[in-house]
């Protein structure tokens, strides 16, 4: 772009409230600097003292200064068909985004913008290096009109190159073709089903040594309270020490706390979740403090994953992930979660409805070869027998009790095998696996990228091979197929791929 053009642009600055956005962003960036805290731990008392008196105020000042500068140097210009952004304090960057290249336009309403009628417009551009651009702190009306503008431009660009598809006709339509609304109870279920905080639980162990003295102090208070009589009663009746009762109690309280937290987080994230389809465009809208709108079009779908974990199984609910084009690239980036289109919790009926919407068939699963469980079982049995025998010789015959693990290994391997299955019907290839719960991965055949037939020496010997299928969103392995079947499937899949003449990205 010639420099004269640049001066002609009407540069606008975001509202000062946008500084909150930049502050939050730089706080997120600060988290990545946590290794710098290592010297504090290693450095001893004087270093820590010095850091508290000078370091923390200095960091705060720097962050504040950075936030103000970031806001000051962030400006944007809107033209008829293009949005140009200037940002950066030292590294000035300038980014032009043609509306017709924008793949997705979201409007987020964070809680700190809502009282001021402001919003963040998030744009995602197409291309191999998926770029994400946020324009924070612009009036909601402007954001809405920009988004509308962008969508219109896209439609125009499309009607230039393609036939008028259903979208143009339905874009004026307000009633969705499909609608799913999740109430609070369902979202609470999601919080219970997907408790990522449980992974934090092992962290409690090192904290335990600090908690120990606190615990002992409160124990004396506890002994005075009437609760103690309950624990005492439990411990005498169950003939276990009071320590065990207290420990079990502490674990229960901790787990409940984590689940409660997870539920609250889920409520914040998915409050009033709404999924709609208009024409071929799906859109979800959810959030308590920050309302997020995400969308995808059917032709961009790359993979559908249906999962059900242990708790979900008890609650009879499922989770559906839908990956869009470019999802495979995004796996490496931090916010991979955002690249997936998530239907957090559906019951069986709603899954059937959604499955129909996505034109997915009912699966008739085919089992993989029984070698899939026989071989690991043989390996584990050999291991268990050898170890039991060795321990029996070394420590006495009671070690032969280890042989009781054999039926367990049998059951586990058999269960794993029974949960495995594949399905192919010309349009979809699906793979299912799991132990207690399950996960089904559905790939549209026409969009597969690469197909591999792998034979390990052992499997070749028994006439089996694995089929690995790479879509634009990751790899799916169909293990232990008979060789002829795998080759037939590979040829059929390839035919499906080369005959697929429609846009897939």
Partner 1 sequence: MSLQDAVVTAEQLPPLDREPWSAISPSYRAVLRWTVLLYCVIPLVGLGLVIAFDLEHLRTPAKMLAAAIVVLALFLLAVWVPRRVHHTQYLLRELDVHKRTGFWWHKTVSAGTNRVQHIEVTQGPIERLYGLSKLVLYTAGGYQSDIKIPGLPTDEAHRLKQYLTERIVSEELETEHAAH
Which residues contact partner 1 by CB under 8 A?
128, 161-163, 165, 280, 298-299, 301, 325, 328-329, 331-332, 358-359, 426-427, 444-446, 448-457, 460, 465, 470-475, 487, 490-492, 494-503, 505
CB of 329 to partner 1, least distance (A): 5
Q: Which is nearer to partner 1, 42 or 499 (CB)?
A: 499
Identity of the residue, 299 or 415, whose beta carbon is nearer to partner 1 in the bound complex: 299
Least CB distance from residue 187 to partner 1, whole Å? Answer: 29
Min. distance of Cβ 17 from partner 1 in angstroms?
37
CA distance 428 to 363: 10
Specify the DSSP element, H or E, that contains 302: strand 301-308
Find the shortest distance in angstroms from Cβ 36 to partner 1. 30
Give 339 or 420: the residue with its C-beta nearer to partner 1.
Answer: 339
For residue 475, the minimal CB distance to partner 1 (Å) is 7
Q: Is 224 exposed, middle or buried (0-12, 13-18, 19+ CB in 10 A)?
A: exposed
Residue position matching structure tokens 């908690």 = 211
> Under a CB-based contact definition with an 8 Å cutoff, are residues 154 and 102 in contact?
yes
Please name the residues in contact with 248: beta carbons below 8 A apart, sequence gap of 6 or more: none
Closer Cβ to partner 1, 32 or 502, answer by number:
502
Nearest to 78 by CA among 21, 148, 180: 148
Rounded least distance, CB 443 to partner 1, Å: 11
Quickly count: other Cβ atoms within 10 Å of residue 203's Cβ. Answer: 9
Report which secondary-structure segment, H or E, holds 286.
strand 281-286
- Specify the residue, 134 or 427, whose C-beta has the smaller distance to partner 1: 427
Place of tokens 């002609």: 8
Nearest 5°: CA angle at 121, between 119 and 124? 160
Question: What does the alpha-carbon distance between residue 467 and residue 366 come to, in Å, rounded to a whole number?
Answer: 14
Spatial distance between the Cα atoms of 460 and 329, rounded to a whole number of angstroms:
33
Q: Write down the least CB distance from residue 486 to partner 1, Å.
A: 10
In angstroms, the CA 308 to CA 318 distance is 5
- Whichever of 192 and 301 has its CB closer to partner 1, that residue is 301
The rounded distance, in Å, linking the Cα atoms of 178 and 281 is 10
Report the residue number, 301 or 342, with the smaller CB distance to partner 1: 301
Q: Which is nearer to partner 1, 108 or 465 (CB)?
A: 465
Q: How far apart are CA 240 and CA 231, in angstroms?
A: 11
State in angstroms the smallest separation of the CB of 451 from partner 1: 5
């Amino acid at each position: 772009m010639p420099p004269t053009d640049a001066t002609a642009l009407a540069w606008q600055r975001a509202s000062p409230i946008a500084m909150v956005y930049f502050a939050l962003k730089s706080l997120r960036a600060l988290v990545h600097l946590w290794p710098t805290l290592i010297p504090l731990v290693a450095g001893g008392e004087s270093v820590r003292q010095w850091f508290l008196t000078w370091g923390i105020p200095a960091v705060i000042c720097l962050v504040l200064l950075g936030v103000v500068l970031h806001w000051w140097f962030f400006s944007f210009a809107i033209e008829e068909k293009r949005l140009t952004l200037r940002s950066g304090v030292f590294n000035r960057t300038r980014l032009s985004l043609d509306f017709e290249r924008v793949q997705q336009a979201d409007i987020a309403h964070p809680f700190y913008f809502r009282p001021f009628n402001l919003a963040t417009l998030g744009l995602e551009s197409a291309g191999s290096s998926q770029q994400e651009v946020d324009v924070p702190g612009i009036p909601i009306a402007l954001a809405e009109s920009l988004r509308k503008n962008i969508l219109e431009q896209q439609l125009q660009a499309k009607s230039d190159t393609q036939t008028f598809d259903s979208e143009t006709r339905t874009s004026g339509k307000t009633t969705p073709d499909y609608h799913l609304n999740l109430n609070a109870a369902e979202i609470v279920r999601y919080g219970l089903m997907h408790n990522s905080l449980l992974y934090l639980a092992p962290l409690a162990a090192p904290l335990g040594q600090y908690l120990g003295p606190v615990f002992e102090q409160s124990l004396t208070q506890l002994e005075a309270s009437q609760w103690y009589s309950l624990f005492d009663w439990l411990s005498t009746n169950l003939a276990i020490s009071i320590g065990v009762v207290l420990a079990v109690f502490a674990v229960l309280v901790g787990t409940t706390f984590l689940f409660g937290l997870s539920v609250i987080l889920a409520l914040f994230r998915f409050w009033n979740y709404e999924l709609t389809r208009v024409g071929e465009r799906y859109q979800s809208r959810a959030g308590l403090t920050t309302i997020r709108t995400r969308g995808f079009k059917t032709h961009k779908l790359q993979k559908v994953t249906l999962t059900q974990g242990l708790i979900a199984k008890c609650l009879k609910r499922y989770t559906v992930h839908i990956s869009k084009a470019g999802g495979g690239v995004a796996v490496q980036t931090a916010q991979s979660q955002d690249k997936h289109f998530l239907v957090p919790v559906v019951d069986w009926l709603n899954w059937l409805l959604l499955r129909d919407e996505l034109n997915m068939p009912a699966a008739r699963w085919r089992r993989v070869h029984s070698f899939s469980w026989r071989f690991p079982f043989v390996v584990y049995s050999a291991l268990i027998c050898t170890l039991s025998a060795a321990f029996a010789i070394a420590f006495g015959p009671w070690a032969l009790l280890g042989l009781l693990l054999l039926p367990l290994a049998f059951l586990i391997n058999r269960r794993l095998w029974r949960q495995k299955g594949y399905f192919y019907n010309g349009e979809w290839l699906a793979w299912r696996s799991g132990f207690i719960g399950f996960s089904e991965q559905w790939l549209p055949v026409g969009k597969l990228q690469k197909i591999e037939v792998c034979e390990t020496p052992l499997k070749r010997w028994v006439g089996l091979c694995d089929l690995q299928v790479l879509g634009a969103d990751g790899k799916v392995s169909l293990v232990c197929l008979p060789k002829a079947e795998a080759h037939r499937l590979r040829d059929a899949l390839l035919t499906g791929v080369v005959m697929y003449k429609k846009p897939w990205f």
